[in-house]
């Protein structure tokens, strides 16, 4: 088991792929803790420039000589075994660990480490909790998978008491973490390029739950039957929450929505009224996310006022129902949703705003996900009045010819396939009307379409 005490502070901790959103955050935190840090990335980026400006050397391009003087090498799951820096580190006997191993070891330096897991909603719930802790002046250290305006980026280097991070199940990464409190938002089929099936995913979460230490707790969504299964043999404490399941420790009741689609509701704590909560983000799914945050906040000793203030102040992160601009009276939003359940929740929240039409260009993310969840995708756009599907964003996968975006468009009533971004931009510019909501949706580069549409209208 890796221990932070084994790191030689006189030698560099070298990050392969330091420009990544999580890797760069870890690099900054280590430097602030007195470690020597450097790294490489395959291309120049704003993140690399920020690292260099903060005093962290970054080399563009992966070359064996970059690691010659390193004391530790850190890499992500995306780095292949034939990477020249990783190969050279192993030749020289330099310890080389995955990012998740480092993050897990760093968590041990904090009194109250919190991990936010689940198939979807991690970034939003992590950001909500970050608002609650910051508004309560608890000086948390934060790692979030998106840009959170409150902290001006994707990380905050705070004190050594409270640590909040997303915990992803892909490749079993979160099994290398050591949280005191773990949130499980939901469990569904995803990442089927790694997992065999839903049972394999549940087993992975069950193992994660089993790592909860004595004195810790799992905060579990008991509206989700898979979460119930994963926590049924939890040796530690389980704190439950739900909207439909009224037997939970934390339940939302009397839910109403404003004209903007923002929910407010009463929170019942073990059957007794606890607080009236007003959110500044739309959708029923965010009621569920907030219940998880309330439950863990209570374990952390946050006051009722701090919880109410923190949740009310949260108005989203970048790429989550993010308003980008307008054209011809139509509002253009960007959303990171790339799983059927996320899509359904986002479009339902948009519909609840009373928009004249909810319209969307969707960029599927990875061939494996599009193929294995095609039927689920076909049912997830019911609240969309006009849908354009564009080419699949490959991400980490090669195109094996397994599926094409046209195949997805064919199984969704009324969907149309348009390949080129420029043609999609033209389509929405010509058809945008007052009262429309237009989404660019997906985890790839589909957001560029909305940005170009907005530019053209100025």
CATH of the domain at 184: 3.40.1190.10
Tell me: do 86 and 120 sit in the same domain: no
Residue 13 to residue 91: CA distance in whole angstroms: 17
Residue 166 among the catalytic residues: yes
Is 229 part of any domain?
Answer: yes
User: What is the predicted pLDDT for the residue at 397?
Assistant: 87
- Write the CB contacts of 339 (distance below 8 Å, at least 6 apart in sequence): 119, 120, 188, 190, 369, 373
Closest CA to 392 of 384, 304, 373, 133: 373
CA angle 176, 179, 185 (to 5 degrees): 95
Tell me: do 123 and 47 sit in the same domain: no
Q: Which of 313, 330, 360 is the last residue of a domain?
A: 313
User: What is the predicted pLDDT for the residue at 458?
Assistant: 60
Tell me: do 121 and 75 sit in the same domain: no
Contact 432, 326 (CB under 8 A): no
Is 6 part of any domain?
Answer: no
Residue 240 among the catalytic residues: no
Contact 103, 165 (CB under 8 A): yes
User: What is the predicted pLDDT for the residue at 446?
Assistant: 96
Q: Which of 262, 280, 313 is the last residue of a domain?
A: 313
Is 1 part of any domain?
Answer: no
Closest CA to 386 of 408, 413, 420, 411: 413
Contact 340, 364 (CB under 8 A): no
Q: How are strands ordered across the β-sheet holding 330-335?
A: 322-327, 330-335, 436-441, 357-362, 386-389, 416-417
Closest CA to 35 of 70, 87, 86: 70
Contact 324, 333 (CB under 8 A): yes
Residue 346 among the catalytic residues: no
Catalytic member of 135, 166, 226, 342:
166
The distance between the two most distant Cα atoms of the chain, rounded to a whole number of Å, is 64
User: What is the predicted pLDDT for the residue at 162?
Assistant: 98
Q: Per the structure block, which two tokens stand in for 393? A: 């964003």
Enumerate residue ranges in the chain where pLDDT < 50.
Answer: none
Tell me: do 403 and 378 sit in the same domain: yes
Tell me: do 126 and 191 sit in the same domain: yes
Contact 340, 379 (CB under 8 A): yes
Is 177 part of any domain?
Answer: yes
Summarised one tens digit per residue, pLDDT across range 201-254 is 999 999 999 999 999 999 999 999 999 999 998 889 999 999 999 999 999 999
Q: What is the pTM of this model?
A: 0.86
User: What is the predicted pLDDT for the residue at 317?
Assistant: 82
User: What is the predicted pLDDT for the residue at 157?
Assistant: 95
User: What is the predicted pLDDT for the residue at 456?
Assistant: 83
Is 4 part of any domain?
Answer: no
Q: How many CB atoms lie within 10 A of CB 88?
A: 20
Catalytic member of 122, 324, 344, 351:
122
């Amino acid at each position: 088991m890796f221990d932070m005490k084994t790191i030689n502070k006189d030698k560099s901790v070298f990050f392969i792929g330091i420009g990544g959103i999580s890797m760069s955050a870890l690099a900054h935190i280590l430097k602030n803790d007195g470690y020597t840090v450097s790294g490489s990335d395959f291309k120049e980026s704003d993140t690399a420039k920020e690292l260099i400006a903060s005093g962290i050397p970054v080399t563009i391009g992966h070359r064996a000589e970059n690691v010659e003087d390193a004391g530790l090498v850190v890499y992500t799951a995306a780095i292949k075994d034939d990477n020249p820096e990783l190969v050279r580190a192993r030749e020289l006997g330099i310890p080389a660990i995955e990012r998740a191993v480092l993050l897990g070891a760093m968590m041990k330096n904090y009194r109250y480490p919190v991990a936010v897991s689940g198939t979807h909603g991690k970034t939003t719930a992590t950001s909500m909790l970050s608002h609650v802790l910051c508004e309560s002046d608890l000086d948390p250290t934060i790692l979030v998978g998106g840009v959170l305006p409150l902290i001006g980026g994707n990380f905050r280097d705070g004190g050594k008491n409270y640590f909040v991070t997303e915990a992803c199940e892909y490749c079993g990464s979160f099994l290398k973490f050591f949280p005191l409190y773990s949130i499980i938002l939901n469990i569904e089929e995803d990442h089927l390029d790694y997992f065999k099936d839903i049972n394999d995913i549940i087993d992975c979460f069950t193992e994660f739950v089993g790592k909860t230490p004595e004195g810790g707790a799992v905060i579990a969504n008991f509206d989700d039957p898979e979460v119930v299964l994963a926590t049924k043999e939890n040796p530690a404490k389980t704190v439950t929450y739900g909207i439909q399941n009224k037997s939970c420790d934390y339940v939302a009741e009397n839910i109403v929505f404003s004209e903007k689609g923002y929910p407010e509701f009463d929170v019942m704590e073990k059957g007794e009224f606890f607080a009236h909560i007003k959110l500044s983000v739309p959708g029923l799914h965010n009621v569920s996310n907030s219940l998880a945050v309330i439950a863990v906040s209570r374990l952390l000793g946050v006051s009722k006022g701090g919880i109410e203030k923190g949740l009310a102040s949260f108005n989203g992160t970048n790429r989550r129902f993010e308003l980008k601009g307008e054209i011809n009276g139509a509002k253009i939003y960007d959303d990171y949703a790339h799983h059927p359940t996320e899509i359904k929740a986002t479009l339902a929240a948009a519909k609840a705003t009373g928009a004249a039409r909810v319209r969307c260009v969707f960029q599927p993310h990875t061939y494996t996900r599009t193929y294995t969840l095609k039927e689920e995708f076909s049912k997830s756009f019911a609240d969309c009045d006009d849908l354009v599907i564009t080419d699949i964003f490959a991400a980490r996968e090669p195109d094996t010819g397994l599926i094409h975006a046209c195949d997805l468009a064919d199984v969704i009533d009324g969907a149309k396939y348009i390949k080129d971004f420029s043609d999609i931009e033209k389509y929405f510019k010509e058809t945008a009307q007052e009262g429309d909501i237009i989404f660019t949706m997906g985890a790839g580069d589909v957001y560029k379409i909305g940005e170009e549409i907005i530019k053209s209208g100025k």
